[in-house]
Amino acid sequence: MEQYISIEKAHYVDEYKIYLKFNDGKENTLDFKNFILTSQHPEIKKYQDKNLFKNFNLEYGEIEWNDYDLAFPIYDLYEGKV
């Protein structure tokens, strides 16, 4: 049986980096900078404001911003991909 992967802990590191710890013990520090700064989509561009970017939540084992205004697939984050 495959284990359900979820995020147990997340904290802002610096710039656009977030540390994630998963329920199986794996840890990643992901850099979202390139994704955020190169996006042309206005709903993503607004997260260039670091105060908005830092204001994420953990919901149901996933990281999300502003009630899923911005979210990433859990498996991609687990693999270190943004």
CATH label of the domain that carries residue 72: 3.30.2020.10
In a domain, 32, yes or no: yes
Q: Is 58 in a helix, a strand, or coil?
A: strand
Domain encompassing residue 52: 7-78
Residues 16-64 pLDDT 10s: 999 999 999 999 999 999 999 999 999 999 999 999 999 999 999 999 9
Q: How many domains does the structure of the chain reveal?
A: 1
At 40, phi and psi to the nearest 5? -100, -5
In a domain, 74, yes or no: yes
In a domain, 1, yes or no: no
pTM: 0.92
In a domain, 18, yes or no: yes
Burial bucket for residue 7 (CB in 10 Å: 0-12, 13-18, 19+): buried
Residues 64-73 pLDDT 10s: 999 999 999 9
In a domain, 2, yes or no: no
